A and B are shown apart, each in its own frame.
Chain A
């Protein structure tokens, strides 16, 4: 399968999100809690961008909007010059073939071997003979250091290995946009370093735009080119890793230093402590 030529000139942003707002609609059509509010974001080719923020700040939702899995109520999501949410089903699927996504826990198909997982996108989207697929799969697995594990089942590999297999699967079709959803979550330091290194080198090798959704400050600040900070669905800060480290914004400072209390409170909103314990009545 030949990759369709890119629509955008080389220096234009490959991903451009403008004023995106989103709330999950319920089954009956009403809107639930607001997840994203007026998000602007850009990623260029070959650039590695981190989306940081606490749990529930809407980071993963941005990835879902990029893949066209959810439709924002306002704003535009452009990938390679195409408005993701104006595309027809077939066009969206054609665009998705040029995207790779690494899910939080790998999302490997549990009924297939490591080899078949990586071969899956190739078998679904190309007419390559089985011998060519074998070569490609082994090359992709070799790139993540797991050529020797091709015959194992997903249940037989560790969390870090599963993540690397999923990475090999995500890059099987040489994507131009790679999205990583919490790639560092729950990994031991060695696996974490391996994944971080792979994210950096694979993006460079493919010349792809990469987006890493993460709350791991240390690891991501050391590998990314640019950082967006999300809090409660809004971009509250952005800049290069050095600018973020030097930031005086209270929220960013708290996040980078990991202080338990600050703009983000330790306590969930609650009535006054004394009142809650029934002490108020005695006074």
Chain B
């Protein structure tokens, strides 16, 4: 019994200390972000690495999610004779929810893990130590460019996901099932609000980008510099950032859309 209480106490103290350390690193990452912008080439290289290389998975997933939305949406809407609204349904689902959320989850798996593993392995190979000894801050040179690359890439990837998804819905709904072409697009155009729907979706994806990329960067920097430690850190990145995305999505949705 005493051991159990001790274990809980240890776990709690470690958890609180880790949150504090994470918060401090979050602040330091912002403070050391000068180089990520003054030498923007560093950030661009990372955007290419983590953003560009995520394109395939984002485009393919977006297309299939669009297909499924087209099928399911049509099935439900035609019961009430309102299959004309399919375009609106597909667009709203994607722009408000699925675009930012699914992109963030895929991004955590595709880019977050590679960021964590890369930084973790750099730490294990004493590369971060070596950088420090060369009077170069690893936070400024390694962490910040990756962080900002993730924050910049995420809204772009989410926008792409939504756009491809809408196209997927169009292929299934209009081309294959035969919903009226004009109604599909005009309902969408009338029903989707620029600020309420698209704007809030973009805000979501920026917040998710900050959360996922920072967790990835933090877990890599905080990992035990051993093969086992890096593999654990990579797993933690996926688990923590996926949970963070879903939790933040609930909070943001409640704040953004509860007024209606």
Contact = CB atoms under 8 A, between A and B. Distances in A.
A97 B133 CA distance: 8
Nearest to B17: A27
A75 interface: no
Nearest to A95: B135
A101 B127 CA distance: 12
Contacts of B130: 101, 103, 107, 109, 166
B125 interface: yes
A99 interface: yes
A281 to B, nearest CB: 29
A169 B132 CA distance: 14
A107 B17 contact: no
A127 interface: no
B145 to A, nearest CB: 12
Chain B residues touching A, majority SS: helix
Interface residues of B, number: 19
Contacts, number: 56
B21 interface: yes
A27 B134 contact: no
Contacts of A166: 130
Interface in B199-251: none
Interface stretch (A39-47, A117-125, A138-146, A201-209): A117-125
Interface in B89-140: 121-122, 125-127, 129-130, 132-137
A97 B122 CA distance: 21
Given A103-B130, A120-B136, 15 more contacts: A27-B18, A28-B14, A69-B132, A69-B133, A93-B137, A96-B134, A99-B133, A107-B126, A107-B130, A108-B127, A109-B122, A109-B130, A110-B121, A124-B135, A124-B141
Interface of B: 13-14, 17-18, 21, 121-122, 125-127, 129-130, 132-137, 141
